[in-house]
Structure 1
């Protein structure tokens, strides 16, 4: 009879542990999802800031009157035009 009682106690303990681990797993999944959302937001912010830097670099390049600055500005404008063309082609698909 004591074996049955021991087995019941062990089963109860295992079920309790299972439920605790299940809850922890759910919490970790939720945390992972939230961190993914944070990462996506930060990646978008990085992209936006890189675009701002490009614009600032472009403006600074246009303000300068030397030949190197003009070449730099032309390259930036050409890159922006290529990016715009890519966007337009993606929209047309």
Structure 2
């Protein structure tokens, strides 16, 4: 009898331990899903910002090219190069986030 009770107690203890481990893993899994959802939202926001920056860059590029006359071509090229570098920096910063 004692042996059967001892086995039953051991079995019972192990089942409780498994239940506790299951609950811990379930909570960890829920936390990980929450993190993934938050990252997805952040990625979507950054993609929207990047699209907006690209559109603004294209508009600015067109506006600057229209503004340029033959005599101002060299200074316009320099301004455009600087603008491109600035936009590239912005895009790099956005992609790092």
Fold shared by both chains (TM-score > 0.5): yes
Superposition TM-score, scaled by structure 1 size: 0.68
The SS at the match of 1:65 is: coil
Q: In angstroms, what is the RMSD of aligned CA positions?
A: 1.3
Q: Identify the match of residue 18 of structure 2 among 14, 21, 25.
A: 14
Superposition TM-score, scaled by structure 2 size: 0.65
Greater relative contact order (Cα < 8 A, sep 6+): 2
- Match of 1:84? none
Segments of structure 2 that go 5 or more residues without pairing to the other structure are 74-97
Q: Identify the match of residue 63 of structure 1 among 67, 71, 77.
A: 67
Q: What is the Cα deviation at residue 65 of structure 1?
A: 2.4
Q: Deviations over 1:19-74 (max 9, x none)?
A: 010011111111111111111000000000000100111111111124xx8xxxxx
